[in-house]
């Protein structure tokens, strides 16, 4: 992106981000439906079917030249290798959290992610934090510390999810990659391990795929679509809108996750959770108000 091109605040980028976060919001419920498979088997299927789907899209949309540009650049391949490890870690932790009944804590991770990305935007892209934004970060941090006081440990699932995906966004911001071709390369780099794991799982007689019926198989194959679509949308949004604005939009995802965890998955919402989420929501509310106020001021000046 040249210096004369500024990320849009409205348009295709934000719309792509919105679609990505809504789909991700309901993904935990999908993982609960397919918990007949182990978390690592689900991860392996996500990788392999996403690789197949994105490769198909590369040819259908005639983006082979863009794919070759990625494959022929050592720097880009190195960055995509790092981003593939980050996203794989994020995937398996989230799948595992739903599997063990901690989807609520996972939603907390995605609640604090906008603030994580705000900080990363400051560190890597020089996006300045004003006093109000700093206050919002501190309030959310107090919410995380509240869980430490109540339960004697930090919410590691929440922190891991937010940090892994935050750094994934940073790496993809540095990669001049077509979203579809970039995701294919990431999945391609992970595919040998994923395929080898499924071969081992099948040999041990513990693989769900092909052993529980066509309906179960179809749900696992569909992981390619439910994985590819939101990630392609996010990657596009990350390169076509302000990074801090992308962080602001992300609270849609955990809000949906929160209600899915409590209302659909039946997880317990304790008093400690109530205090933590109240602090996080207050922090995000202040952050949102500040962004809206700034946007209005810019419109008046223009």
Structural domains of the chain, count: 1
Phi, psi for 235 (deg, rounded to 5): -60, -40
146: in domain: yes
CA distance 100 to 178: 35
Q: Report the 10 Å Cβ neighbour count for 6.
A: 10
Least confident of 45-59, 149-163, 174-188, 243-257: 243-257
pTM: 0.81
Q: Are 241 and 7 in contact (CB under 8 A)?
A: yes
Contact 162, 109 (CB under 8 A): yes
- Confidence label for 243 from pLDDT (cuts 50, 70 and 90): low
Kindly give, in sequence order, each residue whose CB lies less than 8 Å from that of residue 184, ignoring residues fewer than 6 positions away.
51, 54, 55, 57, 58, 67
Residues 282-295 have a mean pLDDT of 79
Q: What is the pLDDT of residue 184?
A: 92
Q: Tens of pLDDT along 265-279?
A: 988 888 888 888 898
In a domain, 71, yes or no: yes
Sole residue written with tokens 């995509």: 80
Range 166-169 contact pairs with CB under 8 angstroms and sequence separation of 24 or more: 166/113, 166/116, 166/117, 166/120, 167/86, 167/120, 168/83, 168/86, 168/87, 168/90, 169/117, 169/120, 169/234, 169/238, 169/243, 169/246
Range of the domain at 29: 12-301
The pLDDT of residue 247? 64
- Tell me if 7 is assigned to some domain: no
Percentage of the chain with pLDDT > 90? 37
Residue 3 belongs to some domain of the structure: no
102-117 average pLDDT score: 84
Which has the higher per-residue pLDDT, 208 or 149?
208
288 occurs within a structural domain: yes
| pLDDT bracket for residue 224 (50, 70, 90) | very high
Range with the poorest average pLDDT among 7-21, 23-37, 191-205: 7-21
Per the domain annotation, does 157 fall within a domain? yes
Q: Judge whether 203 lies within some domain.
A: yes
| Predicted pLDDT of residue 9 | 45
Q: Encode burial over 167-199: b for 16+ CB neighbours within 10 A, e otherwise.
A: bbbbbbbebebbbbbbbbbbbbbbbeebeebbe
Q: What is the pLDDT of residues 122-135, one digit of tens each?
A: 888 877 778 888 88
Q: Which of 8-12, 17-21, 44-48, 246-250 has the lowest mean pLDDT?
A: 8-12
The helix/strand/coil state of 239 is helix
Tell me the CA end-to-end span of the chain in Å, nearest whole number.
24
In a domain, 5, yes or no: no
Q: How far apart are CA 203 and CA 110, in angstroms?
A: 37
């Amino acid at each position: 992106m040249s210096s004369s091109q500024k990320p849009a605040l409205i348009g295709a980028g934000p719309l792509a981000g919105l679609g990505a976060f809504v789909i991700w919001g309901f993904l935990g419920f999908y993982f609960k439906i397919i918990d007949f498979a182990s978390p690592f088997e689900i991860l392996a299927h996500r990788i392999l079917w996403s690789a197949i789907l994105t490769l198909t899209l590369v040819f259908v949309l005639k983006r082979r030249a863009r794919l070759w540009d990625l494959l022929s650049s050592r720097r880009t391949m190195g960055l995509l290798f790092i981003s593939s490890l980050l996203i794989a870690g994020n995937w398996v932790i989230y799948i595992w959290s739903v599997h063990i009944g901690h989807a609520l804590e996972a939603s907390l991770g995605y609640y604090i992610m906008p603030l994580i990305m705000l900080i990363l935007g400051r560190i890597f892209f020089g996006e300045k934090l004003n006093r109000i934004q700093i206050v919002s970060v501190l309030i959310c941090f107090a919410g995380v510390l509240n869980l430490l006081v109540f339960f004697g440990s930090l919410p590691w699932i929440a922190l891991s999810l937010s940090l892994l995906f935050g750094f994934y966004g940073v790496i993809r911001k540095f990669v001049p990659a077509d979203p579809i071709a970039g995701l294919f390369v990431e999945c391609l780099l992970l595919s040998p391990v994923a395929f080898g794991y499924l071969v081992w799982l099948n040999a041990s007689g513990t693989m769900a795929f092909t052993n529980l019926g066509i309906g179960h198989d179809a749900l696992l194959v569909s992981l390619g679509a439910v994985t590819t679509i939101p990630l392609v949308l996010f990657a596009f949004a990350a390169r076509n809108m302000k990074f801090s604005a992308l962080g602001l939009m992300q609270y849609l995802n955990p809000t949906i996750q929160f209600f899915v965890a409590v209302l659909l998955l039946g997880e317990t919402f304790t008093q400690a959770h109530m205090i933590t989420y109240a602090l996080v929501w207050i922090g995000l509310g202040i952050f949102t108000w500040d962004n809206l106020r700034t946007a209005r001021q810019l419109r008046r000046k223009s």
